[in-house]
């Protein structure tokens, strides 16, 4: 008795079964893309909210948004702590924006613009407490350090140079 001949696909099931498996696989891939898109949208929304919170804080505290750091240093400890928290919130908002909007230069430009008035503080803080900047991501640390160097805010005096 001779063996019946089989097509290769008959080993794995009928054509309908293979089509059903292919559709299920495509559906799974589509779900993965959708999850990634949701994650990306959530990150962008979170970054926008953080930056909006920083902008609101800057509006309510213009003495910190455009600081006279020498006056703040001479002020009460409470004011110094508020200023440090303001700068920390700013750096956090920028870090979130950088992570969410890697391909959009306007976020970088906005953060660059707002960072400059705080470079003297960040230089002195980094000199006194080198672990302060370590609380931020590597990219944020490098951004702040490069900005300080470009602006001439380097130890020991940490004063802004001509840029």
What are the pLDDT digits (tens) for 22-76? 888 888 888 888 887 787 778 888 888 988 999 999 999 999 999 999 999 998 9
Q: With 80 as the cut, is the pLDDT of residue 3 above it? A: no
Residue scoring higher pLDDT (157 or 120): 120
Write the pLDDT tens digit of every residue in 90-117.
Answer: 999 999 998 888 788 888 899 999 999 9
Torsion sign, CA atoms 90, 93, 99, 104: negative
The angle formed by the CA atoms of residues 74, 64 and 99, to the nearest 5 degrees, is 130
- Between CA 75 and CA 130 the distance in angstroms is 23
Judge contact between 79 and 129, C-beta under 8 A: no
- Would you state the pLDDT for residue 44? 83
Q: With 90 as the cut, is the pLDDT of residue 161 above it? A: no
Instruction: For residue 57, give the 3-state DSSP assignment.
Output: helix
DSSP conformation class of 125: H
- Would you state the pLDDT for residue 23? 87
- Would you state the pLDDT for residue 163? 47
């Amino acid at each position: 008795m001779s063996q019946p001949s089989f097509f290769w696909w008959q080993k794995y099931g009928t054509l309908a079964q293979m089509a059903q498996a292919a559709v299920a696989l495509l559906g799974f891939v589509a779900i993965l893309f959708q999850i990634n898109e949701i994650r990306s949208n959530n990150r962008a929304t979170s970054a926008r909210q953080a930056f909006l919170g920083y902008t609101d804080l800057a509006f309510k505290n213009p003495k910190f948004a455009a600081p006279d750091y020498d006056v703040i240093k001479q002020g009460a400890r409470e004011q110094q702590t508020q200023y440090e928290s303001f700068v920390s919130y700013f750096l956090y908002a920028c870090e979130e924006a950088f992570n969410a909007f890697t391909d959009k230069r306007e976020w970088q430009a906005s953060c660059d613009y707002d960072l400059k008035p705080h470079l003297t503080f960040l230089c002195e803080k980094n000199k006194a407490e080198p672990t302060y900047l370590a609380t931020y991501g590597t990219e944020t640390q490098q951004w702040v350090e490069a900005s300080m160097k470009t602006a001439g805010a380097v130890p020991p005096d940490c004063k802004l140079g001509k840029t």
